[in-house]
Structure 1
């Protein structure tokens, strides 16, 4: 699972996830990519599940880039715990995703096979995504 090696603070507030992505919204490394269409929050387990399905589909050929990193801790209190007694322990690591953000990129694979692999990865995402190519990369959203 992806998580930071160390952080300045153990816990963070939830914050808001508004607006569009102005960073990481263009294809930088690969030929074809997954782009988020709506806002959401991606978990380290979801990133790993999508990565595994993509690499299995392309039979470990080509190259895949993960363009997101979960650096925000989400806390949860244990089940059947009464209210109070402070904030819960860190449960998982997430990243807020805004519309237009590139999540995965792929290169060195035939486009038809890459589209099939990325479609499988899209099914693992908790928000709507679309597949774009390097030619479509200039379209922001």
Structure 2
């Protein structure tokens, strides 16, 4: 189950700039332990799903997991060996721009040791460096 929006206003968007720090979503809201991005970057929906599966596998159907980010940005790509120009490429995948300090995942109702090992395996699947919030 890959994450993607049901409906968008525009098919393609401009890249824009990525802020270095995020102060709105840098605290735990739902769980007791969280996984936080230490560096800014773009995370695709496949990477979020891979991290989610790795975390859930370590939890052994105990506790509750929250995903705090949603990939709502369409990322486009042109085919290989295509000349410059001729417009923007077709939709490749969905992603989310994450700034440093954003909480990505939260866990509640599980022991601290299991949660730390789960977040270490899940954080290894992500392209940004992560920190575990206790």
Alpha-carbon distance in structure 1 between the residues aligned to 2:133 and 2:82: 45
CA distance in 1, matches of 2:30, 2:23: 17
The answer to whether the aligner puts 1:78 opposite 2:79 as a matched pair is yes
Q: Deviation of residue 82 (structure 1)?
A: 2.3
SS at match of 2:119: helix
Shift of 1:105: 0.2
- Structure 1 equivalent of residue 129 of structure 2: 128
Match of 1:67 in 2: 68
The 2-side partners of 1:126 and 1:38 are apart by 10
**2:109 maps to which residue?**
108
> What does the per-residue CA deviation read over 1:15-53, in whole Å, with 9 as the maximum and x for residues that have no partner?
111231022111000010001111111110000000000
Matches within 5 A, 1:44-63: 44-63=45-64
- Find the residue that maps to 2:17 and give its secondary structure: coil
Alignment of 1:35-50 (within 5 A): 35-50=36-51
1:66 and 1:123 map into 2 onto residues whose CA distance is: 16
- Aligned partner of residue 121 in structure 2, secondary structure: helix
Q: CA RMSD in A?
A: 0.9
Q: Distance in 2 between matches of 1:78 and 1:60?
A: 41
Residue 137 (structure 1) aligns with? none
Give the structure 2 partner of residue 98 of structure 1.
Answer: 99
- CA deviations 1:61-84 (Å, max 9, x no partner) are 110000000111110011222222
Normalised by the length of structure 1, the TM-score is 0.91
Which runs of 5 or more structure 2 residues have no equivalent in the other structure?
none
